């Protein structure tokens, strides 16, 4: 954690299928899987699946895809396993590859069936995931719905604009540049990115790679934008709906990560805008926090609906807040508010809304021990990286057990003192080599060109680390050993990230240490992540079970009044803002927006049912208005920074709240799900 914070030392350096019913015999199921014939839950279900090729070795080129119109309706299958033929929504077909006993399920007339299983050892979506016993083995889908140049997730998006007068260094400036580039599609280039960077093929491959979870970063502009915020509004949500459908089909669970908050929770480029922190910090810090809590509420109400709660099972309510700058009491008060909001939406106990995941804010894990005792299903999220501090010329084989000694005992201890603890991000990087790992134009510590801190002297060339085409077998084996040690030390984890896009300049991946998929394709990631078990030789591992409130089996899991009293809301003071009573706030009088629900289609299948897709809002009693401006009060730009004083006076005579003339509120309009 300290290493990653060091990376951001200066504002200029920010980086960053219910399966077939039990009445059907196992023998029949095997035959069905083997020959890929039509099988439906009901005789009139003529549906199919939508997916691309997945391979047990992660190859993105495995399997076969036809270019024709697909099989006839009578031959469409709704379930299958390794070697089965499936049909995508557009009628294209491919062969599913999963050597781990995973089975997919998709029937357009039964779209909420939760019988899919990613592997034989991972629970199906309609089965209990026993946290602490069943391991989270996951990957991030970084750079998809929240773009960022860091680690070059999709460098081809940014490269055309990095030399402009206002270079693209974050999604804010990328959006501004794209909007001005009508010749290349304007801002709609982002939707092209959403539809092509991560597809159903990736979800199939992830299950085939032995993984059972995906962490999906989602920004606030998936819900709404205000004022002059330049982001492509609401469109990312429609693709998150696709992600739910594809994850359900392959039995994968989702950790939805609220990655970018209005105003920015850390001032880093992956929060939307590089620069200052404006959440719980500065004169607009409290108002931005109120708006962010509204977004958490809107998301929680949607994913707590029974149609989605078996798939979206974890909710990271804020990614990487800079707690050490914002303040510990301020962040913890915000975390309690988020807890109450999410639990009001779904209720208490397993299946009633998601596990709530808290990022550690770059405090040590031990400092979170005992936070919110007896809370229902909370998890602690740590992002351990080795690459953002001291650089070493030592080869990768010298790091064989480093994750074990650096991370292992801390995670063991946190599983006891806090409860479920997971690494929401980690990678194979032991240096900061790679395209824009530190940000656009920010240089590289390893080569002595790091802009934020010139005291870093060169220790060598990055070429041996980034020229993955030249890796020999011993190098690949050493990287794989590091990955396995990391997985064993961390126990429950999400690798950052599944895919790194090719550079449009060189035509290849320029940050190989950050791509799980590339490692599978080229032999330096384990084809079976279970091989990590025991690599660290842990002599004192954490032993299950988790406490009943952690597992959602305690119906009395409530927070004592003495606990909640420790975290008053709003906080008494806002760092660089002043007393809470002296900074702008919003008032809950706005219309409540609900998120769009999915529509389902399938080429070659007749839709005979109209499934209930939910209303978008689980708890009808949760009916407070949206936080919006009051016409008689004054506001600053929500991204103003921390060096400006609050408006004075805040409100005109007789006003009891504060207003926001600079950000006229427009009720969010949710874009419909794109038609395949």
Q: How far is Cα 178 from Cα 230, in angstroms, rounded to an integer?
A: 10
Closest-CA residue to 337 (of 298, 296, 369): 296
* Residues in CB range of 27: below 8 A, 6 or more apart: none
Beta bridge pairs of residue 122: none
> In this predicted structure, what is the pLDDT of residue 4?
55
Who has greater pLDDT, 344 or 44? 344
Q: How far is Cα 570 from Cα 422, in angstroms, rounded to an integer?
A: 29
Q: Quick one: how far is CA 27 from the chain centroid?
A: 38
Q: What is the pLDDT of residues 510-559, one digit of tens each?
A: 999 999 999 999 999 999 999 999 999 986 789 999 999 999 999 999 99
Residue 103 phi, psi (nearest 5)? -135, 140
Q: Any idea which of 22-31, 495-504, 608-617 has the lowest mean pLDDT?
A: 22-31
pLDDT surpassing 70 at residue 49 = no
pLDDT band for position 663 (cuts 50, 70, 90)? very low
Secondary element (H or E) of residue 29? helix 26-35
> In this predicted structure, what is the pLDDT of residue 17?
35
pLDDT band for position 160 (cuts 50, 70, 90)? very high
Q: How far is Cα 501 from Cα 155, in angstroms, rounded to an integer?
A: 6
> In this predicted structure, what is the pLDDT of residue 250?
97
Who has greater pLDDT, 569 or 39? 569
- The 8-class DSSP code of residue 434 comes to S
Q: How far is Cα 174 from Cα 159, in angstroms, rounded to an integer?
A: 10
Residues assigned a catalytic role = 320, 425
> In this predicted structure, what is the pLDDT of residue 652?
87
Token pair 């919110």: residue: 372
Of these ranges, 12-16, 18-22, 505-509, the one predicted with the greatest mean pLDDT is 505-509
Q: Quick count: other Cβ atoms within 10 Å of Cβ 541? A: 16
> In this predicted structure, what is the pLDDT of residue 489?
97
> In this predicted structure, what is the pLDDT of residue 120?
98
Q: Evaluate whether 346 touches 300 at the Cβ level (below 8 Å).
A: yes
Q: What is the pLDDT of residues 168-219, one digit of tens each?
A: 999 999 999 999 999 999 999 999 999 999 999 999 999 999 999 999 999 9
Overall size of the chain counted in residues: 676
pLDDT surpassing 50 at residue 150 = yes
Q: Evaluate whether 53 touches 104 at the Cβ level (below 8 Å).
A: no
Q: How far is Cα 244 from Cα 282, in angstroms, rounded to an integer?
A: 36
Closest-CA residue to 116 (of 13, 237, 204): 204
Q: Quick count: other Cβ atoms within 10 Å of Cβ 524? A: 24
pLDDT surpassing 70 at residue 665 = no
Secondary element (H or E) of residue 590? strand 587-590
Q: Evaluate whether 315 touches 352 at the Cβ level (below 8 Å).
A: no
Q: What is the pLDDT of residues 340-352, one digit of tens each?
A: 999 999 999 999 9
> In this predicted structure, what is the pLDDT of residue 654?
57
> In this predicted structure, what is the pLDDT of residue 670?
34
Closest-CA residue to 106 (of 127, 128, 132, 77): 77
Closest-CA residue to 11 (of 263, 264, 267): 267
Which tokens in the block code for residue 157? 């998006």
pLDDT band for position 51 (cuts 50, 70, 90)? very low
């Amino acid at each position: 954690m300290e290493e990653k914070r060091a990376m951001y030392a200066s504002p200029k350096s920010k980086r960053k299928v219910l399966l077939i019913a039990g009445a059907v015999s196992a023998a029949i199921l095997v035959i069905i899987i083997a020959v890929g014939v039509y099988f439906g839950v009901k005789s009139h279900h003529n549906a199919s699946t939508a997916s691309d090729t997945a391979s047990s070795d992660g190859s993105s080129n495995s399997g076969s895809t036809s270019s024709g119109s697909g099989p006839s309706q009578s031959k469409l299958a709704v379930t299958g396993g390794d070697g089965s033929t499936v049909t995508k929504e557009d009628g294209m077909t491919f062969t599913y590859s999963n050597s781990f006993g995973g089975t997919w399920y998709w029937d357009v007339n039964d779209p909420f069936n939760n019988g899919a299983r990613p592997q034989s050892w991972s629970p199906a979506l309609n089965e209990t995931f026993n946290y602490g016993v069943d391991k989270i083995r996951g990957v991030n889908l970084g750079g998809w719905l929240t773009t960022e140049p860091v680690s070059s997730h999709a460098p081809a998006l940014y490269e055309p604009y990095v030399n402009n007068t206002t270079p693209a260094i974050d999604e804010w400036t990328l959006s501004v540049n794209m909007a001005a580039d009508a010749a290349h599609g304007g801002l709609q280039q982002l939707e092209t990115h959403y539809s092509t960077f991560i597809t159903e093929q990736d979800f199939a491959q992830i299950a085939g790679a032995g993984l059972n979870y995906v962490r999906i970063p989602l920004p606030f502009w998936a819900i709404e934008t205000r004022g002059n915020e330049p982001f492509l509004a609401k469109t990312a949500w429609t693709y998150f709906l696709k992600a739910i459908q594809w994850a359900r089909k392959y039995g994968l669970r989702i950790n939805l990560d609220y990655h970018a908050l209005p105003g920015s929770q850390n001032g880093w480029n992956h929060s939307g805008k590089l620069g200052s922190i404006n959440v719980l910090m500065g004169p607009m810090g409290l108002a931005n926090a109120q708006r962010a809590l509204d977004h958490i509420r809107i998301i929680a109400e949607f994913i707590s609906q029974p149609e989605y709660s078996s798939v979206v099972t974890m909710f990271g309510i804020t990614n990487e807040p800079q707690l050490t700058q914002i303040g510990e009491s301020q962040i913890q008060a915000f975390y309690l508010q988020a807890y109450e909001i999410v639990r009001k939406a779904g209720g208490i106990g397993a299946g009633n809304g998601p596990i709530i995941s808290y990022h550690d804010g770059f405090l040590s894990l031990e400092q979170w021990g005992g936070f919110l005792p007896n809370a229902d299903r909370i998890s602690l999220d740590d992002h351990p990286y080795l690459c953002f501090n001291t650089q070493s010329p030592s080869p990768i084989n010298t790091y064989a057990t480093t994750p074990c000694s650096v991370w292992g005992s801390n995670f063991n201890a946190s599983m006891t003192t806090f409860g479920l603890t997971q690494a929401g991000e980690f990678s194979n990087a032991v240096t900061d080599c790679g395209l824009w790992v530190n940000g656009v134009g920010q240089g590289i510590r390893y080569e002595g060109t790091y802009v934020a801190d010139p005291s870093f002297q060169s220790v060598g060339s990055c070429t041996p680390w980034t020229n993955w085409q030249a890796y020999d077998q011993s190098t690949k084996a050493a990287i794989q050993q590091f990955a396995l040690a990391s997985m064993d030390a961390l126990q429950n984890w999400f690798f950052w990230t599944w895919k790194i896009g090719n550079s449009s300049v060189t035509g290849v991946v320029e940050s190989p240490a950050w791509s799980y998929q590339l490692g599978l394709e080229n032999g330096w990631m384990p084809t079976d992540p279970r091989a990590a078990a025991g690599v660290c030789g842990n002599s004192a591992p954490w032993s299950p079970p988790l406490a009943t409130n952690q597992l959602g089996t305690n119906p009395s899991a409530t927070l004592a009044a003495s606990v909640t009293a420790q975290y008053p809301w709003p906080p008494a003071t806002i760092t660089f803002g002043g007393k809470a009573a002296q900074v702008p706030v919003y008032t809950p009088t706005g219309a409540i927006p609900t998120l769009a629900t999915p529509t389902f289609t399938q080429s070659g299948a007749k839709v005979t049912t109209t499934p209930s897709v939910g209303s978008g809002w689980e708890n009808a009693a949760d009916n407070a208005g949206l936080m919006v401006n009051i016409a008689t009060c004054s506001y600053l730009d929500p991204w103003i920074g921390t060096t400006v004083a609050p408006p004075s006076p805040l409100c005109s005579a007789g006003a009891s709240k504060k207003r926001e003339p600079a950000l006229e509120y427009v009720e969010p309009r949710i874009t419909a799900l794109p038609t395949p």
